[in-house]
Structure 1
Amino acid sequence: MKKISIATIIMIAGIWIAGAHAAQVDHALFASLLNRHVKDGVVDYQGVKDDEAVLDQYLEVLAAVDPDRLSADDQFAFYANAYNAWTIKLILSRYPDIRSIKELGSLFSSPWKKSIARIDGDLLTLEQIEHDILRKRFKDPRVHFAVNCASKGCPPLQGEPFAGNRLNDQLDRAARAFINDPRFNRLEDNTLWVSKIFDWFSEDFHGDVIGYFIQFADVPMRDQLEKNKGRIKVRYLDYDWSLNGT
């Protein structure tokens, strides 16, 4: 038997590794749905319902993906898109007879604990995607502006899918848009009124909401926060769980 040199083994391994990380996911179907049926974060669920076959095709695309073959940024984009697409599918399971995603749960179960997301042979819950994968693996607080819980209090659903090659810019834009939207956050004198997200996930923001806002706030809010940081108190707004649809 002919021996294989170490150099050849290294070359073959390098080719295999490169191929393993060259996998791509086609999010075009989801892009078409978001482009047609999401405007300023408001979802036309009836329009998506009419196009549910397209959504189902996209979910089949996701189900066939091995996320471990993706780069880190492509993994983040993949799971964020999967969360958002499966959340829409969950809403459609009862639409139009639904006013809040919470109606899909019960006293003993949560809609986020339903095993619905088919990915690479597994059946995941939305909770697993958000907390066990996105938050735990990537430790990027901007995830909270990327995943959408189908509620008006949630950071608006983006009008395009996330993509690994544009991920950082997309996450920055999502964070900046949410933080500077007075519907969700506002500075009144020395009180910074913010979304409950910053309370529920305070550890993700290292317990420094004001410092995080300074990173993304526009002028004049940023200047006021920097100037009066020691005197500003943080207060949390009520969360609106009503459906983010027309």
Structure 2
Amino acid sequence: MANNLKFLSSYHSGATNLFSYSRVSKKDLNQLKGYINELVNLDPNTLTRAQQKAYWINLYNAKTVDLILDNYPVKSITKLGKGFFSFGPWDDKTLTINNKELSLNDIEHRILRPIYNDARIHYAVNCASYSYPNLAAQAYTVENMDQLLDKGAEHYINHPRGVSIKNNKLTLSSIYSWYQIDFGEDEKALIKHLTDYAKPGLKAALDVIKGKIEYDYNWDLNELK
């Protein structure tokens, strides 16, 4: 089933993997919906632990793209959601697996984060916003999992969307504030995580940075216009 997402690569921009939602053909949209249907009709309990990790990441990302396309054009994913006061669709029960209704938040916060305890998950699941890590141009598999997770971490940390240093002031994506516990127990551990993936210039700057960390996030759609 991993090959069923190959068509998504034709809608990526390259460096930052912005996505050209407006160009997705009806044929490819139907292919995406077919792929999601295959996943929800597969019992994840029949998969190995490693296969389940790829399964949940792929399902999360595919459903996120599907939600955007079903509501396109939209300025931000935060405009979606069934509740009057909803901030995005993440709590909506949009998937049914083994006769159980699940939301995107269920997948991320009740399955992926607690079960796998892998901070790199945040570089894999994509929330269709400009400041979020890249939407991978291929499906996750057991074989490519670690490579794609490391690649996602390296790209994001070395891009201003993730880490920016100007005038000795460190600004990080708000992801590192919202989920700091996943990256370590304190800011020192967080900086260690960043330096593990930072290129030499950024790593040197992080080694000497002082002062309060600031956080920022842009919820605009990750759209290639």
Structure 1 residue 126: deviation in Å?
0.4
Relative to structure 1, is the Cα distance of residues 209 and 191 closer, same or farther in structure 2, using a 3 angstrom cutoff?
farther
Query: Alignment partner of 1:124: what SS?
Result: strand
Partner of 1:73: 50
Does the CA contact (< 8 Å) of 2:161 and 2:173 recur in 1?
Answer: no
Matched residue type, 2:2: H
Query: Alignment partner of 1:240: what SS?
Result: coil
1:153-172 matches, within 5 Å, as 153-172=131-150
Partner of 1:92: 69
Matched residue type, 1:194: L
1:205-220 matches, within 5 Å, as 205-206=183-184, 207=186, 208-220=189-201
Query: Alignment partner of 1:186: what SS?
Result: strand
Query: Alignment partner of 1:220: what SS?
Result: helix
Query: Alignment partner of 2:139: what SS?
Result: coil
Q: Does 1:149 align with 2:127?
A: yes
Partner of 1:15: none
Distance in 2, Cα, partners of 1:167 & 1:178: 17
Q: Does 1:48 align with 2:48?
A: no
**Aligned match for 2:39, one of 48, 62, 86:** 62
Q: CA RMSD in A?
A: 1.7
Does the CA contact (< 8 Å) of 2:124 and 2:136 recur in 1?
Answer: yes
What do the CA deviations read for 1:101-127 (whole angstroms, capped 9, x no partner)?
A: 111124433410111123333321001
Q: Does 1:195 align with 2:166?
A: no
Distance in 1, Cα, partners of 2:211 & 2:149: 26
Matched residue type, 1:172: D
Any unmatched runs of 5+ in structure 2? none
Distance in 1, Cα, partners of 2:211 & 2:85: 39
Distance in 2, Cα, partners of 1:158 & 1:232: 34
TM-score by length of 1: 0.82
Relative to structure 1, is the Cα distance of residues 232 and 217 closer, same or farther in structure 2, using a 3 angstrom cutoff?
farther
Structure 1 residue 189: deviation in Å?
4.4
Higher mean displacement: 60-69 or 127-136: 60-69
Distance in 1, Cα, partners of 2:131 & 2:161: 9
**Aligned match for 1:39, one of 2, 13, 35:** 13
Higher mean displacement: 66-75 or 129-138: 66-75
Distance in 2, Cα, partners of 1:204 & 1:221: 22
Bigger Rg, which one: 1
Matched residue type, 2:32: L
Distance in 2, Cα, partners of 1:124 & 1:49: 28
Query: Alignment partner of 1:117: what SS?
Result: strand
Structure 1 residue 70: deviation in Å?
1.8
Any unmatched runs of 5+ in structure 1? 1-25
Distance in 2, Cα, partners of 1:99 & 1:189: 32
Structure 1 residue 232: deviation in Å?
5.0
Relative to structure 1, is the Cα distance of residues 232 and 216 closer, same or farther in structure 2, using a 3 angstrom cutoff?
farther
Task: Report percent identity of matched pairs.
Answer: 34
